[in-house]
Structure 1
């Protein structure tokens, strides 16, 4: 197995679709998954570089493992469900502190998954690799009554989206995700003016249709490239030392002949 150059970690509550996002990007298809136990990772070959993408468990009993998986991460994808306001609140209450072990220059993306349930433009699959089955599933979803996609989670505080009446099913507005991104920067002690803007680092995706999934991962890969190059330069400046070579011939005990 090739050694990864950098690590990207997905964090978020259970059932927000972290594993589905990863499968959509790596396998180019959507499939039903079970809750992740502990963690798992995929190795992505991106040009001449190797990037490990870690999928972590959202269940409370695996919460303590999160900081271990985040250790040395170059980027963290904080994932929530756009139909569940509490899943966004959980990112700040439970998961943000786990990123303390990430790199000091770690990049953060805030991702609202399941956009196909709230946004008409996310219904149609994107990209040439989307299968006909994916398109059929999306067509069936559009014919179902709207009540079928309503979230069963408790009603959250009123948001700009819900008050406008544009998307009644949507419980997290883009402005709320952007506000959370700003709080991430303040938590990390970063200057908002010199950091990446929220409009570039906040995404809404659909693992089911593939909407915005490629854009999410490819954007992060481009942004972590400086970390990859810096790490490779550091490895070249401090190469591994061969102890056998350092000992030299003078330290080897000469073999005497038997008398």
Structure 2
């Protein structure tokens, strides 16, 4: 029970945005559950809590379908970080971030951090296809004890369409494309590039299927939102919540004491 109560109130909010089928839910499952599994399209939104050291971080997974588009700004309200996700094999998924999703972040915090994440890197990049993050690899080996272990802590991931055909898919979005969009996001937000975090710190390519770069993405973001967490905690300490029940109880006692 103490653990449950500790997780009740998030210190900060992180939101995933992006078109449908780019793998937002799969990224979140890979990070929180240490495994890849087939998912269905998210309806509306889904909420996860992650305990990161002494802090509680809420992660919101949002729907990419057009009919749920209006909910995005509600989910982004008060966000300390937004993960704008696209598919590296689909140029349109990157364009949709600027055309449909960027305006939804207007309700985020003024100092919100924006990360650009190109998922499905295993379909185009042999490095992402063959190697798992070391801790993810350990979890996979525990679950697949019947499979032969590959050397160097990099077991072969589940077969993907690219690996089955033997030919990687064409990569439609390059890191340079993502960096260019990151620059346009800063200008949209009225931020100076010189005083903002550089693109190479906030542009990632990941694979939810193999775990490639997934931990690096979330851990980097959590480090970057730490100042927001500390500021929020300081504000809460300076303006503590008033317990109305205690006030009512104290007031009634004082009233009875003053009564003749």
TM-score of the aligned structures, taking structure 1 as reference length: 0.86
Cα offset for 1:127?
1.9
Q: Which residue of 2 aligns with 1:145?
A: 166
1:105 has 2:118 as partner: no
1:237 has 2:258 as partner: no
Cα offset for 1:250?
3.2
1:114 has 2:115 as partner: no
Residues 123 and 138, structure 1, Cα contact 8 Å, conserved in 2: no
Cα offset for 1:137?
1.5
1:127 has 2:148 as partner: no
Give, in whole Å, the separation in 2 of the partners of 1:212 and 1:50: 22
Q: Which residue of 1 aligns with 2:224?
A: 223
Provide closer, same or farther for how the CA distance between residues 139 and 75 of structure 1 changes in structure 2, counting only shifts above 3 A. closer
- For residues 79-90 of structure 1, what are the structure 2 equivalents within 5 Å? 79-90=85-96
Cα offset for 1:139?
8.4
Provide closer, same or farther for how the CA distance between residues 140 and 62 of structure 1 changes in structure 2, counting only shifts above 3 A. closer
1:60-81: CA deviations, max 9, x gaps?
Answer: 0000000000000000000000
Give, in whole Å, the separation in 1 of the partners of 2:99 and 2:160: 37
Give, in whole Å, the separation in 2 of the partners of 1:211 and 1:91: 22
- For residues 1-259 of structure 1, what are the structure 2 equivalents within 5 Å? 1=4, 2-124=8-130, 125-130=132-137, 131-132=140-141, 135-138=156-159, 142-146=163-167, 150=169, 169-243=170-244, 244-245=246-247, 247=251, 249-252=253-256
Query: Normalized per residue, which structure has more helix?
Result: 2
Alignment coverage as a number of residue pairs: 236
Cα offset for 1:136?
4.6
Give, in whole Å, the separation in 1 of the partners of 2:91 and 2:72: 22
Give, in whole Å, the separation in 2 of the partners of 1:135 and 1:31: 16
Give, in whole Å, the separation in 1 of the partners of 2:39 and 2:242: 45
Q: Structure 1: where are the runs of 5+ without partners?
A: 151-168
1:166-186: CA deviations, max 9, x gaps?
Answer: xxx000011110000001100
Give, in whole Å, the separation in 2 of the partners of 1:141 and 1:170: 12
Residues 138 and 209, structure 1, Cα contact 8 Å, conserved in 2: no
TM-score of the aligned structures, taking structure 2 as reference length: 0.85
